[in-house]
Chain A
Amino acid sequence: MKMERSEIISVTKKFLSEEFEVDIETIEDDGNLRDTLDLDSLDYVDLVVLIEENLGFKPTAEDFKTVATFNDFYNLVEQKLMNV
């Protein structure tokens, strides 16, 4: 799957805001992903399902160690999609 960064951002914002019921405007590039979405450890399995469905790869726990902000997340997606 090939996606431009702008497309990754718009797709990600859409599915995250819908699933975790946050206003799309609160998802800012340098915002903290976990805090913004109010994620607990159980939510990560939902996040994995959403990423697989919308972005076409399955992240690992190791992948999430590199993710603090949404920008980090977009970087991870770009990197993963290059290898798909």
Chain B
Amino acid sequence: MIIMLVEKENIKKYIPQREPFIMIDSLLKADEKGFLSSFKVENDNIFIQNNILSEAAIVENIAQTCAAGFGYLSSLEVDSEPRLGFIGAITKLEVFNEVATNALIETQVQIVNTFENIHLIEGVARNATQDLIKCQMKIVLG
């Protein structure tokens, strides 16, 4: 049984995005090393074309996994204000496979390094055992 840190009903407390741009359902894990999220691709997702979810949506899913993870961690700090994060750069992007509607995406983010308020992360989105997209992002926390 998977224990969710943040369920779908509460995810908006931790990310700035709103429907129809929410590309993450639940946060499964979050610590100083990284984050894990899940996302079911629904039929009415605005990034679906010919039954396939676009690569841009999966990259957004990785970014929102970071937003949820950093948001969740900052919520654990006493007297802390939620911090907004911005994508500073996306590098080393690799696209491996497409994903269709009703698929479940699990996205793992590893925090590679941190310098001041800039986090270098490596994210990989997977469907079952298939890698979908892998990339690095520089996330700047405000």
Contact = CB atoms under 8 A, between A and B. Distances in A.
Interface string B114-140: 111011100000000000000000101
Nearest to B136: A46
Contacts, number: 25
Interface in A31-57: 41-42, 44-46, 48-49, 52
Contacts of A41: 118
B1 interface: no
A61 interface: yes
Nearest to B120: A45
Contacts of B115: 44-45, 48, 61
A44 B118 CA distance: 9
A1 to B, nearest CB: 19
Interface residues of A, number: 9
Contacts of A49: 112-113, 120
Chain B interface size band reads 10 to 19
Given A41-B118, A42-B118, A48 B138 contact: no
Contacts of B113: 45, 48-49, 52
Contacts of A42: 88-89, 118, 138, 140
Given A41-B118, A42-B118, A44-B116, 20 more contacts: A42-B88, A42-B89, A42-B138, A42-B140, A44-B118, A45-B113, A45-B115, A45-B118, A45-B119, A45-B120, A45-B138, A46-B120, A48-B113, A48-B115, A49-B112, A49-B113, A49-B120, A52-B113, A61-B115, A61-B116
21 contacts: A41-B118, A42-B88, A42-B89, A42-B138, A44-B115, A44-B116, A45-B113, A45-B114, A45-B115, A45-B118, A45-B119, A45-B138, A46-B120, A48-B113, A48-B115, A49-B112, A49-B113, A49-B120, A52-B113, A61-B115, A61-B116
Interface of A: 41-42, 44-46, 48-49, 52, 61
- 9 closest Cβ contacts across the A-B interface? A45-B115, A42-B88, A45-B118, A45-B120, A48-B115, A49-B113, A42-B138, A61-B116, A44-B115
